[in-house]
Structure 1
Amino acid sequence: MYGDLGVGMSIEGIDLDVLPGMNGPAIAQNSNNNVGIRLKLIREIYGISQREFAKRAGVTNSSISMIELGQVSPSIQSLERILSVIPIRMADFFDFNLHSLVRVARTSNDSAQLFSLTKHGSHQEKNQLFAQSIIVPVGGSNGLALLECDTCGVVLAGKAQLKSVAVTDSLIAGDTFYIPMCQLYQFINSGDVPLKLFVCSLFAHSR
């Protein structure tokens, strides 16, 4: 139907190279809505308008709109190009939780209770604890990331915005946080001094 028009052209504001079959294999039809929801959530985490996102990806605004509404299924190659705007790996794009499970505790509350429930997993697993300090410069961020394990931590100095799916929490020194596995998140330094974090992650390995 579209063969005579060529990749890169458009019909009624829709880029042909984001349609299935035009630029590589298409994503399964039953995942259309899921792809659209994920794309919209990530775009909103970064605070990018649909129009600006389309401009950076080199496609029309209508194309992004129809993908987010689940009305069109992009090819895998086209989705990779669109996601390069963020950027985020394709595997992380399909793995992150669609709902925010991040928990925070303020210094004014009893934050010890936040991590009193952290004993998870079966007795057949061997756990390895990993701890590190993170420094985020003024105006910077740690970049959008997907956790491979449960992580908790505390803000040592500065002010932070902890952004996850459709949720943003403001943290100050002394506040604690818990981020579960497969949660998409980002720390942004919202203060005027370097943001210092201490985080601990628990990796589970089979014996």
Structure 2
Amino acid sequence: MDFDTGSRLKEERERLRLSQRQLAALTGVTGGMISMIEQNRTSPSVATLKKILAGLGISLGDFFAGSADAGTKWHFRHEELREITPAAKLGDAGARVIFRQVGRPGSSAVQMLHETYAPGADTGPELYSHDAEEAGIVISGQVQVTVGEDTQLLTAGDGYLFNSRTPHRFHNPGPEDCVIVSACTPPTF
């Protein structure tokens, strides 16, 4: 899925009639960074994008959502899972993190994600938090999860469950992709 993060961010900022400088003051993200994102000269980490979107009053899911699904659909093929991550390259190796959501953002009290972390990929250098609880099971590969001050290496078959208000971070230190199926309630993307 080709998603123009920069154009979408500029559209939302202009919809609220904010300058880049005003948005920077609201979010704590520099005006230069906002400018570079809007020009697609850099890709924001998940934590940075969440800060910016909080200033705009929209969730990650709404930011990346396309048109609404028709009817009350309960089944979704792999190709119908909606990518809700920035087209960002993260981690030391320039590796991607991909979040694919089951269903339409905002249509349920629970958010199910199919997450893929390429080798070296992570959710960003900063720990982040959000108002929810989340759980997941590692399907393949390995992931280093930091919750608060505790870091654990989880491998295929291992799971996690924590209060997302505690700052956390995910990182794939392994030589292969890590795949996780996770749930979050209430939805935060």
TM-score by length of 1: 0.38
Answer with 1 or 2: which has the greater Rg.
Answer: 1
TM-score (normalised: structure 2): 0.41
